[in-house]
Chain A
Amino acid sequence: MGGTDDGSDVRSVKMVFVTVGTTCFDALVKAVDTQEVKEELFKKGYTHLLIQMGRGSFIPTKSAGGLGCLAVDYFTFSSSIADNLKSASLVISHAGSGSIFETLRLGKPLIVVVNEDLMDNHQSELAEELAERKHLYCAHPQALYSTIADMNVDALLPYPPGDAKPVAKLINRFLGFPDD
């Protein structure tokens, strides 16, 4: 899976990595597994689809790939998805802030899919805000196909790394310490 090595062996491996984190998000896995989404991804030049499906019960159909279709593979969990993210050319993720920022920091194009089944769905706030600022695309499971069809990965803006200095400055001032 080590991105660059594979990339040089097999010409232009373009991996789409799908992650649902520790949640159960069958709606996303199902949406990705539909023929229209897979065809659209292939049209956009992606060659491989790897799905981290978490606790979900929906098993996507594996495929070795080949003429005119995506190679599809899946797994449930791994201790770290950092390598998967690094080797991916496109990431489709659930709306957890952890995987959102991990992906943005790597500068990978990202589609966040909001889980409508969650009771306390404040997570969509973050995805929508970042989508408004053009750092990622935000979609609902049913609309994933159209989002992929309409997206232009080059139009996304890089996310500037976060900065804790303003908080630290205010804390220091409040406690009577001088600014550094």
Chain B
Amino acid sequence: MLESDDGESLDASIRKPPLQNERPTSMVVEILVQSCAMEDSSFSMMMTPKLVITSIIVTVISIMIRLAYVIYQSSKPLKNLAQQPFSTLIVLGSGGHTAEMLNLISILKKDRFTPRTYVAASTDNMSLQKARVLETSLVDQTDDEKVTKAIQFMQIYRSREVGQSYLTSVGTTLFAICHALLLMIKIRPQVIICNGPGTCIPLCVIAFLFKVAGIRWSSIFYVESIARVKRLSLSGLLLYKLRIADQFFVQWPQLQLKYPRTHYVGCLM
């Protein structure tokens, strides 16, 4: 996660000049070559600086191509000929968000979305409890023991609590990202369903990076809260603009007009 973040910022700084005007590239390369040679002559003898720069450029280009491919592929429906079930991660927001999410989960076919993992913020005591109530009500309907065993409930640290100072939230954010990474390695979901607020962001970003890195392919679905009529929430906007969400649902027609890549689905509540 951290490595790739650094990599991206490096990429951006290297990429820009050669793209804007191509001619000076060779000059820049020469200067770089000279400086490298001056700094460490033994290094330049082992490996020519030209090779280093070419390999960096190749890496950057291949990451860009991979990114473009992942975004393009994410927008297309899966070819699920075998009709296999998907391991599913359900991110519960809080209060109203959880109610909307469980409304949706209750009508999804459970044999298609199994095993299921519910994740909620560690400060939110109600959401997982409500999810448990929903899942136990389902057990009565289906006798399949395998299905009930494959349900997990987990809590995740939030990066920032309401009213927390910005200074301390840097530390807590890092901690939350590490915790999210750990959870995602454990769960490795194929389907992620979330509807905000911020709890889902680190999980979705990690899932997207897993896709880029080829670790795990997942389909990310985001349902914007019914409370959002005119503007997307911050979490929604992030997932929409960065094209992290494969399918983005909104509950009011005005929003769909404003954000054309979303799907209008009517009210969930």
Q: Which of A9-17, A25-33, A162-170 contacts B (4 or more CB under 8 A)?
A: A162-170
Taking a contact as CB atoms under 8 Å apart, the answer to whether A170 and B229 are in contact is: no
B-contact 0/1 string along A90-102, CB 8 Å cutoff = 0000001110010
B227 neighbours in A (Cβ, 8 Å): 97, 122-123, 125-126
B221 neighbours in A (Cβ, 8 Å): 171, 174
Given A98-B95, A123-B227, A126-B229, A171 contacting B107 (CB threshold 8 A): no
Q: Which of A96, A97, A172 contacts B112 (CB 8 A)?
A: A172
Taking a contact as CB atoms under 8 Å apart, the answer to whether A162 and B107 are in contact is: no
A174 neighbours in B (Cβ, 8 Å): 77-78, 219, 221, 246-247
A residues neighboring B (CB under 8 Å): 96-98, 101, 122-123, 125-126, 128-129, 162-168, 170-177, 180
Q: Can you report 12 A-B residue pairs in the complex whose CB atoms are below 8 A from each other?
A: A96-B96, A97-B227, A101-B99, A122-B227, A126-B227, A126-B228, A162-B267, A164-B107, A165-B107, A168-B104, A172-B109, A175-B80
B residues neighboring A (CB under 8 Å): 77-81, 83, 86, 95-96, 99, 103-104, 106-109, 112, 191, 193, 219, 221, 223, 225-231, 233, 246-247, 249, 252, 263, 265-269
Since A164-B104, A164-B268, A170-B247 are in contact, a sample of 11 more A-B pairs with Cβ atoms closer than 8 Å, ordered by chain A residue number, is A122-B231, A125-B227, A126-B227, A129-B229, A163-B266, A164-B103, A166-B265, A171-B108, A174-B221, A174-B246, A175-B86
